[in-house]
Structures are given as structure tokens and as C-alpha cells.
Amino acid sequence: MTNSEFQRVTVRPMDEYNQKLVSYVHPPNWVNPQPADVYDLVVIGAGTAGLVAAAGAAGLNLGLKVALIEKHLMGGDCLNVGCVPSKTVIRSARVVGEIWNAKNLGVNISQHNIDVDFPKVMARMRRIRADISPHDSAERFQNLGIDVFLGSGRFASKNTVEVDGKTLRFKKAVIATGARAAQPPIPGLEQAGYLTNETVFSLIQQPERLAVIGGGPIGCELAQAFRRLGCEVVLFHSGSQILNKEDAEAAKILQRVFINEGIRLVLNSKLEEVVTVTEGKRLYFSSNGHRDSVTVDEILVGTGRAPNVENLNLEAAGVEYDKREGVKVNDYLQTTNPKIYAAGDICMKWKFTHAADAAARIVIKNTLFSPFGLGRSKLSSLVMPWVTYTDPEIAHVGMYEHEAQKLGIEVTTITIPFSSVDRAIADGEELGFLKIHHKKGADEILGATIVARHGGEMISEVTTAIVNKIGLSKLSSVIHPYPTQAEAIKKAADAYRRTLLTSTTKKLLGFITKLS
């Protein structure tokens, strides 16, 4: 008996690439297995957290019985509507950015004749997504020894889950159902129709005029990408500055870039109504005391995420949750039912693929390898970096200065502008900086922000230093290849070392030189 629910699973457009995608992550001929008598671990949701939890448990070759349930597409947001498609489109958009900057590098290219083949950009994205999809396929996880069930899972009791008419009994379970795009309460928006990150990658024709609602990471990434691909973009944000949760100086740099690239920013905005008119979709708004309107072809909403807690029958499992915050967990990612854990966007403020991956590893340890609660790992022990993949990128790890101050920690900040880094100058990428916060009077790194074209590639060195308690003094002794932009990290470490040269140490060094 094939899974009848497959008939409702399609990815538009159903071309050869999306057919290939679906054949891997929700195959039409899939037959759900007969359940085992009892599972050591049942995982609901086959996004990043669910896949890592299931594969991690089964891949140990300990004979554990593991079940994985997915109602839609295996791979979750990251593969299907998040990291993979967005970064593929952003890569095409970066080419346009390079062309815009070509004249500054002595290369004359007519910017008026840039021919962006939007359908081809999107087709490339679908092809790459399909090519990557075998990594998250139902067949691959079945081959790992996991019982894969396609269908909607819901709790029937504190130790059973139902899916496709079958009952799965478990010793431990993990809720990893993720989150979805939140809909802002704007009158007329739903009637007019709008895009989210879950539907924007289904576009095959370029919208000439695009409104983006939300100046957070998703809104900023896609606003810049679609602007570079040829759309007229207006970005609405309720705050006085985009990316208002990031370092203020970093956000200001990106804001200037957006304005220079022709993105219209409407800050301190309140969207009052959306009306469908002959010319398209008209948004009425107020900003800084003035009322206005703008008409566009498409509206892209990027105003946050809502946890997927519906239809899980969490009450039957004794799992407490909040419709806005998600499943309630303690620092060990354990829910109010001691046998059930959660990981990823369903329960965490960090809504990143790598955060879900890290949380799933905690869950594996705490559910299967912490007898009597001994040796459990904590979510709060994680050092979490993140990146907004605009151009330049904004990467961050650890504390912001204001967070450290709230904890009563005195902070010293070292800032290295990329205008002082030789490779950045040679690349024509002087815009940006490295900012490292360290404990006042010590070399302990508390946090860092990097604004650079490849800031995301550099932040891991600082993350490694924080995790392994490597201070600025030791980083100063690390040889960095010259010339690289990562040399900024060594410059920051050297700047710290110079602060140690007090008048007393200088006198001591002078005395030592006389003896040498």
C-alpha cells in the first residue's frame, strides 16, 4: 500500500528538477514499514534536527530501533526552501554585484546591458537543489536502518505516536517539526496574496516590482538578491534601522549599501492595508508620520517564524507548548514529558540549520547515553555563530557589548577596519570591519562581529577560539597567510598584545636587551 498522502505533495513548478527532488524526499511509491514492537527513538520531522537525530542514533550500529516521520519533504526548510535555494540564488546575484563594481577594478562592462535570465537563475537553483536532495532522501535513511514513515505524525499517548493508521510505541521521542513563515496581521494581505521563503523559490518569472516586508536576515538577503537580479525593490521595516538586532555599525554599513544599490527603504513603517488594483498590489503605509502607498507585482513576507505545534496532539503526550514560542524545553532540550525531547526551530530562538544540527547532537546524547541523567549536555553551553548572507556578509558569534554589560562584565572592544587590511584593499573590499569584544584587563574573547564579503568564512576561527578558550595572546602567535582578509583577526590579536606594553614592561624589556 503506497502512502496516499503523497498525492498532496508537489513542488511548483513540477519540472524535471522538482520531480527529481520529490522522488528523493517524498517518493510517490513509498511504502511505510510495519512498525517495530517498540522503538528506542521516534523522531517527528525530517528537517535538519530530525535527520541528524535519527542518523546519529542509527549510525552508531548499536542495534537501536529508530523511526523517522515526515509529512511533507525530507530535508525540511534547509534543503527545500531555505539555505540551499537561497544561497544558490544569492550566488547568481553576487555576479551582478561584481559587474556593478567592475569599473572600480579597471574592467569596463556596460551595466546597462546586463542580461539576467531570471528563469535560468531559478532553474539552476532547482537543479542544484535536486542534485543535493539524495543526501536527505527517504531511501538513504532507510538504508541506514531507520524506519521511515511518510505521513502526519501525532501523539496518541505519552509513549505512542500514530502515523498513516499505524501506532509507534517509543522509549524516547524527539519533536523536530520546525517552524514556518509567520503572517503579519495586515488587512488585505492574505486576499491579495503574498510570497514567503516557502513559496518565493517557485517563481519562474521575474516580478518587476517587489515589496519585501521585514528588515531581518531573510528580508535583507532576498531584498538584495532580487534587486541585483533586476527587480525594483522596496523594503519595509518597522524599526529605525534594518537588522536592528545586529551590531548597529554593521547594520549601518549594509543600509548604505542597500541605498546605493537602489533598494528603497521605508523605515519606522506601519503597513495599514493591501489592496488589489489593476496595476498590481497596492500597499498603504505610514512612516515617520507620513502616509503613502506603493504598487508592486509581488509581496515577499519575511517577518519571523511560527513554530509548527499544530496537529501534533501534544496534550495527549503531556508536552507543554506555546503557539508563539513553540514546545517548552529545559536546558537539556527535555519537554515536560521526560521521555520526549525537542530540537531545532520548534523550540529554540536560534533558528539556523547549524543550530538545529548542534541541538540534535545534544538530544542524541541526552536521550540515549545519559543514564539516570548523568553526563547530560546543555543547550546553554553552545557557542553559536551566525551569518546574514548579504553582500557584505554580517557574521557574529558570542556576546554583543551590551549583552556583556548587562551581565556586569566590563568589556574592551578592538576594531580593525578592512580599509587597513592589505588583501581587502587589493580586492576592493575595504567596506567593513572586524570587531572583537574581550574582557577588560584580560585576553578572553567574549564575542565578535565581522562585516566582509566572506565574513561567514572568517567567523569560525573566532568561534574556535571562544569554544577552546584561546585568548587573543595565543591568536597573536598564529601565523596567517599573507595576504588574506582573515589577517584582520591577527591584527586584532596584535592590537591586544600592544596594550600589554605598559611603561613598566617597557622598562623591563629595555633592561633585558642590555643583558642579551
Domain ranges of the chain: 4-82+123-180+306-381, 183-303, 392-501
Contact indicator for 175, 44 with CB cutoff of 8 Å: yes
Amino acid at 253: I
At 456, is the secondary structure helix, strand, or coil? helix
Read off the DSSP letter of residue 239: S
**Bridge partners (DSSP) listed for residue 236:** 213, 266
Contact indicator for 363, 333 with CB cutoff of 8 Å: yes
Give the whole-angstrom CA distance, residue 226 versus residue 337.
Answer: 45
Give the whole-angstrom CA distance, residue 308 versus residue 433.
Answer: 38
Give the whole-angstrom CA distance, residue 287 versus residue 247.
Answer: 23
Q: How many residues does the chain have?
A: 516
Which CA distances in Å does 200 have to 75, 85, 136, 193, 367?
A: 18, 10, 22, 12, 37
pLDDT for 301: 98
Find cell 499517548 and name the residue: 157
User: In this structure, what are the phi and psi dihedrals at residue 392, rounded to the nearest 5 degrees?
Assistant: -75, 160
- pTM attached to this predicted model: 0.95
Contact indicator for 415, 432 with CB cutoff of 8 Å: no
pLDDT for 5: 46
Give the whole-angstrom CA distance, residue 226 versus residue 229.
Answer: 5
Pairing of the two strands 290-296 and 280-287: antiparallel
How many Cα atoms within 13 Å fall on the side-chain side of residue 337?
Answer: 24
Which CA distances in Å does 216 have to 79, 252, 274?
A: 21, 13, 21
Find cell 517552524 and name the residue: 179
Which CA distances in Å does 308 have to 198, 323, 324?
A: 14, 8, 9
CATH of domain 183-303: 3.50.50.60
Fold matches, 183-303 and 392-501: no
CA-CA-CA-CA torsion sign (427, 433, 434, 440): positive
C-alpha cell read off for 14: 513540477
Q: Where do the H-state alpha helices sit in 266-323?
A: 314-317
Q: Please report, to the nearest 10 degrees, the dihedral formed by the alpha carbons of residues 420, 421, 427, 428 taken in order.
A: -20
How large is the angle between the packed helices 353-368 and 48-58, nearest 10 degrees?
40
Nearest to 91 by CA among 56, 61, 122, 46: 122
Nearest to 313 by CA among 151, 153, 168: 153
At 257, is the secondary structure helix, strand, or coil? helix
Which CA distances in Å does 400 have to 122, 406, 413, 491?
A: 37, 10, 10, 20
Give the whole-angstrom CA distance, residue 69 versus residue 72.
Answer: 9
Each residue's pLDDT, cut to its tens digit, for the chain (516 residues) gives 344 444 468 999 999 999 999 999 999 999 999 999 999 999 999 999 999 999 999 999 899 999 999 999 999 999 999 999 999 999 999 999 999 999 999 999 876 789 999 999 999 999 999 999 999 999 999 999 999 999 999 999 999 999 999 999 999 999 999 999 999 999 999 999 999 999 999 999 999 999 999 999 999 999 999 999 999 999 999 999 999 999 999 999 999 999 999 999 999 999 999 999 999 999 999 999 999 999 999 999 999 999 999 999 999 999 999 999 999 999 999 999 999 999 999 999 999 999 999 999 999 999 999 999 999 999 999 999 999 999 999 999 999 999 999 999 999 999 999 999 999 999 999 999 999 999 999 999 999 999 999 999 999 999 999 999 999 999 999 999 999 999 999 999 999 999 988 777 767 778 788 787
How large is the angle between the packed helices 217-228 and 83-101, nearest 10 degrees?
50
Class of domain 392-501: alpha beta
C-alpha cell read off for 76: 525540511
Which CA distances in Å does 333 have to 277, 284, 327, 366, 367?
A: 48, 43, 10, 8, 10
| CATH H-level, domain 4-82+123-180+306-381: superfamily | FAD/NAD(P)-binding domain (3.50.50.60)
Give the whole-angstrom CA distance, residue 308 versus residue 181.
Answer: 10
Give the whole-angstrom CA distance, residue 199 versus residue 462.
Answer: 35
